[in-house]
Amino acid sequence: MEVFSIIFDIIASLLLISVVKTEESQYEIDPNGYITFCLCMGRLGNQVEHFLGGLAFAKLLNRTLIVPPLRTNKNVPYSEWFQIESLRAYHRVIDAQDFMQELAPHVWPPESRIGFCWLPNNKPKSECKMKEGNPFGPFWNELHIDFVDTVAHNLNYDSNSIDQWKKLYSSDRYPVIALKGAPTPFPMKAQYRYLQKYMNWSNTIINEVQQHQQNLFNNTPYIGIHLRNDNDWKKACADVESYKSRSYMASPQCLDLPSSTHTYVTHKICYPSDNDILRLLKNIILRTRIHNIYVATDKRPMIKEIQEYLSAQRVHVKHLDPWLPIIDVAMLAHANYFIGNCVSSFTSFVKRARDVQNLPTAFWGFSN
């Protein structure tokens, strides 16, 4: 019996080695190192801008991007909403969950996990609190990551700083650079907007969009509109003209257009009146002869107002109000025509996705 037990142990060990080798061959360790970050600023539109900027920085640094989950009231694996594989046409990536399960034990064991924070020179690294508050704490906790130490830096996240990054934080000493926040400014740099083409929808999202298109509009054309009209947005726009800024939140998406005649963001662009919204919507309906309207909003869908104002056009107005905003984004991205808010990063997400497909977009208070 003892002989059989020894033989069994040997076979089990060989099988274990085989499994490990299989897993390691599936995920080869990148000698250039890895980088990841918390998508912890704002809601979906902000997170996607930060993700694209972080993707660009990972390529500049030549480290594999550990693709962070998106954040609602919990971590949402990137692959639930988008295809990981399509990102690889641009740069090396691995899903955060796969990295933690398959590679972290070898590359980044618990005793080696160091967090990185940007801090001014006059601030001690003790202020680099990687997991303090929400969503920072829950974000890292749900990935089962604790940090044994922190690094405070004040380097920029651009091509001019890459040599410094590589010199100070080499991959042999820091195999993983885990940043408290995304390594990119907001709003995102215009030069990286095209990266949206690598964010392909998952089959789950596409299937749900197709179901809604069938149920709401019987697969006929529709105009998608995005309305920002909650109280917080109203306050954010109240004094916007006094700033005389061309770069207020996501406003460069329209003010940078060749057709723009605006020198800075106006209140009409940021918080259009109901009359401005109804007039532009009517113009688009008369121009396109599309009578189906899909409304996405953070507060007031204006269904009654639209139906009354456009009664002669016999419009059909639908508003899903999904719990997950990604559904609204996807529905708007696939609309035949879209009208959005120039200052909103939610709209900018939709516009970039539509630009990939050469679909038309207009903006309240900006377009005619």
Query: In the predicted model, what is the mean pLDDT of residues 130-137?
Result: 96
Round the CA-based radius of gyration of the chain to a whole number and report it: 24
Q: What is the pLDDT of residue 368?
A: 77
Residue 8 — φ and ψ, nearest 5°?
A: -60, -45
pLDDT at position 23 is 44
CA angle 83, 343, 330 (to 5 degrees): 30
- pLDDT tops 70 at residue 22: no
Q: Which of 149, 112, 119 has its CA nearest to residue 131?
A: 149
pLDDT digits (tens, 9 = 90+) for 61-88: 999 999 999 999 999 999 999 999 999 9
Q: What is the pLDDT of residues 225-282, one digit of tens each?
A: 999 999 999 999 999 999 999 999 999 999 999 989 999 999 999 999 999 999 999 9
Please compute the mean of the pLDDT values over residues 37-66 and round it to a whole number: 97
- CATH class, 203-363 region: alpha beta
Q: Is the pLDDT of residue 108 over 70?
A: yes
Residue-level pLDDT at 39: 96
- Residue 202 pLDDT more than 60? yes
- Indicate the class that CATH gives domain 19-179: alpha beta
Both tokens assigned to 338? 């879209």
pTM surpassing 0.85? yes
Phi then psi for 28, rounded to 5 degrees? -70, 140
pLDDT at 26: 79
Query: From CA 44, how far away is CA 345, in angstroms rounded?
Result: 8
**Amino acid in position 210:** Q
pLDDT at site 24: 46
Residue ranges covered by each domain of the chain:
19-179, 203-363
- Asked if domains 19-179 and 203-363 share a fold, the reply is yes
Tokens (6 digits) for 175 = 């195999």
Q: Is the pLDDT of residue 15 over 50?
A: no
